[in-house]
Amino acid sequence: MENKLLVGKPVSRLEGFEKVTGNAKYAAEYAAPDLLYGYVVNSTITKGKILSVDVSAVLELAGVVKVFTHENRPGLAWFDLQYADMDAPPGTVFKPLSDNKIRYNGQPIALIVAEDFETARYASTLLKFVFEEEPFDTLLTQNLEKARNPKKGMSTPLKPPPPKPKGDFEKAYKNAPFQASGDFLHATEHHNPMELYATTTVYEGEGKLTIYDKTQGTINNQLYVANVFGLKYKNVRVLAPYVGGAFGSGLRPQYQLFLCVLAALELKRNVRVVLERKQMFSFGHRPQVVQSLRFGANTEGKITAMNHSAVGETSKYEDYNEILVPWSHKLYPAANTLFEYKLAPLDLATPIDMRAPGGVSGMHAIECIMDELAYKLNIDPLEFRLRNYSDIDPSTQKPFTSKELRQCYEKGAEKFGWNLRNPKPASTIRGNKLVGWGMATGIWDAYQFPARAEAILTKEGKLEIHNATTDIGTGTLTVMTQIAADEMGLSLDEVSFYYGDSKKPFSMFQGGSAITASTGAAIVVAVKELKKKIIKKIKDIPDSPFKEIPEEEIVFRNGMVHQINQPNVFISFNEIIRANKNKVIKVTKLGGPDLIKIRKFSKATHSASFVELEIDKDLGTISVTRAITAVAAGKIINPKTAKSQILGSMIWGISKALHEETLLDQHLGKYMNANLGEYHIPVHADIPQMEVIFAEERDSVINELGIKGVGEIGMTAIPAAVANAIFHATGKRINDLPIHFEKLL
């Protein structure tokens, strides 16, 4: 791009007006004539089968239209593969109402459809199931002996197994003069976006559906619906213009979509299904994980041996896996390594990616061990990381496309005042509070998926861009408009980005911090192609002043095409359209990572977080008072929305460390706190003073724009920085998350 006028500017969200006035419509808010309401009924047992179901009382209720259970579910797609969405892990996808088997507590077992929501909900109390219960396993810590290697499948390339061992870990660890080791247990977490999962299906007749759905992937859900219900792709349109948060939970179609579409097709009516908050705990979650680490270092403070072994929970029907253990070796060199990752299948719903999946859990354990090893060596924790700093990826020996982690350490430490830290635990007191300072490193992948974008020069001489991606609150609309406007030489109000619609050109689901790079790169490619087409057209205009001007001397600026450095030679977009017989000019192009080039490199975003917290000496209550995160994530398209991504993920990190956990009753196999009163997330009063620093990081390899993504990196360092600050405040190493006050008493 020759004139970056908007990229890099803190533009306010373009959909701001809609969101602050209540005009932004979410999946449950689209009106449709004679709409029916569906209410989902969930299993109250954990494992077994349904022996019988009695719907008579429900059907006698005025206003009830139909009850769907496994007994009357119509025959649908037969092959499991037809239910496999783009994010399906190896295994057998759960098919709602397909049989009488109960696989987990909270499994959907019926849909009641009524003329209004209140009737459907009341009717659910009249529906009677007789179950036969079987023994079950739901607690990871009691089932560690069942752990086995994850199965391989279509998603394995995106989530590869851990790297092979190097050297002789056991010997090197035994001989290391300095050692640190620990076991880490992480609680289950649920995404709990504020918007409830919801689908409004508009029955258009003739096997044609318009579906407003809460999802991170419009095309993913379009394909799922078409495959499962045997509909033509072009007859299924999935729209998600506004998504009230998702954090990974919308990477796969959720069961309300299936049930809503089932009802709409069977009843040939418009149907809406909205989950309740307690039902938001009845599908994917961040899994329980148990991690064991042993790191050894020599007298110079260099790491010689690293072992990270983990067991994650999965369901009995799918092998969900995370990239949990290889992160340490993407940061720190070591001659002897041993990485292991296993799964223990339990009678629970399949977990699903939740913000920084694997990375945030793995890095918590790694960076706590690093802190402990620094203390054993009597080296400042930051200095210890610098001694083990690597400009290349030690696990692959490849260079990084870019790595400005050192800048993150330096800028973060300076802003925080890290050099003033007294390393002695429990050495700083403020009134009745112990004060702790902790730091940690963060790392996350820099993904880019293939994407297609359509670019249209409209009759009004403006630019339209079309792509199927969602904007789950990340600022996608705004950054894509910035990218397109700069590439075309237009202002923001002359560019319209249309998205959140499966009819638009291809986009993967919005996840893994990948969409800005993916759709952004596709937009650049498409607009470049559009410009080529426009240049060709203006050269063909009779008496065109551009006839003899080489293409590289032609630039697009301020709604015109110019000869570079020749302001008198120009043609406006309006004139171009007139010359084109008032027809629009459009192109569609596929953009994607340059895999041959990228193969020679490792790619990652990095961060460093610094945290101050206070702990009440008597009560053990912990409050974070200050947090700084410095991020190296390539080109920042919009510092305002990117900063919000980092601030939000820092709060997620604090929440994982100190607040949220879903508690399982192992006797019932059921989550006990499936509501927002007892599932604690930080409220306004919990939010500390926070700062975000973006390191200058130029990346000319990763993609044309140098984008690496910011959705997850801000979270990965925080939990360890919090835990390390707690050690600094108290001298206690608490490895299990979340850390609540009782663990300090």
Contact residues toward other proteins (CB under 8 A) are 12-13, 15-26, 28-29, 31, 60-63, 116-119, 122, 192-196, 242-245, 247, 274, 276-277, 472-475, 640-641, 643-645, 647-652, 675-677, 681-685, 687, 690
Cα distances from 343 to residues 22, 252, 258, 733, in angstroms, run 44, 20, 28, 26
Cα distances from 717 to residues 204, 583, 648, in angstroms, run 49, 52, 13
β-bridge pairing 336-346 and 303-315: parallel
In the complex, the smallest distance separating the C-beta of residue 279 from other proteins, rounded to whole angstroms, is 11
In the complex, the smallest distance separating the C-beta of residue 648 from other proteins, rounded to whole angstroms, is 3
Judged by CB, which is closer to other proteins: 122, or 570? 122
In the complex, the smallest distance separating the C-beta of residue 376 from other proteins, rounded to whole angstroms, is 35
Judged by CB, which is closer to other proteins: 10, or 177? 10
Judged by CB, which is closer to other proteins: 474, or 602? 474
Judged by CB, which is closer to other proteins: 215, or 304? 215
In the complex, the smallest distance separating the C-beta of residue 125 from other proteins, rounded to whole angstroms, is 12
In the complex, the smallest distance separating the C-beta of residue 15 from other proteins, rounded to whole angstroms, is 7
| C-alpha span between 238 and 436 (Å, rounded) | 49
In the complex, the smallest distance separating the C-beta of residue 471 from other proteins, rounded to whole angstroms, is 9
Q: Which residue(s) pair with 435 in the sheet?
A: 428, 614
In the complex, the smallest distance separating the C-beta of residue 190 from other proteins, rounded to whole angstroms, is 11
Judged by CB, which is closer to other proteins: 63, or 559? 63
In the complex, the smallest distance separating the C-beta of residue 624 from other proteins, rounded to whole angstroms, is 13
Q: Determine contact, residues 676/615, Cβ cutoff 8 Å.
A: no
Judged by CB, which is closer to other proteins: 420, or 683? 683
Taking alpha carbons only, the member of 519, 399, 505 closest to residue 449 is 519
In the complex, the smallest distance separating the C-beta of residue 664 from other proteins, rounded to whole angstroms, is 20
In the complex, the smallest distance separating the C-beta of residue 11 from other proteins, rounded to whole angstroms, is 10
Judged by CB, which is closer to other proteins: 22, or 157? 22
In the complex, the smallest distance separating the C-beta of residue 640 from other proteins, rounded to whole angstroms, is 5
Q: Which two tokens stand for residue 147?
A: 């752990």
Judged by CB, which is closer to other proteins: 23, or 378? 23
In the complex, the smallest distance separating the C-beta of residue 27 from other proteins, rounded to whole angstroms, is 11
Residue with tokens 């007859």: 235
Q: C-alpha angle with apex 142: 45 to 734, nearest 5 degrees? A: 115
Judged by CB, which is closer to other proteins: 315, or 649? 649
Judged by CB, which is closer to other proteins: 56, or 397? 56
Q: Determine contact, residues 517/447, Cβ cutoff 8 Å.
A: yes
Judged by CB, which is closer to other proteins: 45, or 693? 693
Residue with tokens 């994650």: 312
In the complex, the smallest distance separating the C-beta of residue 474 from other proteins, rounded to whole angstroms, is 7
Q: 369-401 burial, b if ≥16 CB within 10 A, otherwise e?
A: bbbbbbbebebbbbebbebbebeebbbeeeebb
Q: Which two tokens stand for residue 163?
A: 């790297």
Q: Determine contact, residues 407/413, Cβ cutoff 8 Å.
A: no
DSSP designation for 696? -
Sign of the Cα torsion 177, 291, 325, 652 reads negative
Judged by CB, which is closer to other proteins: 2, or 60? 60
Q: 242-279 burial, b if ≥16 CB within 10 A, otherwise e?
A: bbbebbbbbbbbbbbbbbbbbbbbebebbbbbbbbeeb
Judged by CB, which is closer to other proteins: 21, or 419? 21
Taking alpha carbons only, the member of 40, 48, 93, 97 closest to residue 73 is 97
Q: Is 426 exposed, middle or buried (0-12, 13-18, 19+ CB in 10 A)?
A: middle
Residues 6+ apart with CB under 8 A from 549: 563, 569
Residue with tokens 């998350």: 737
- On the question of a cis peptide bond just before residue 450, with omega within 30 degrees of 0, the verdict is no
| C-alpha span between 31 and 35 (Å, rounded) | 8
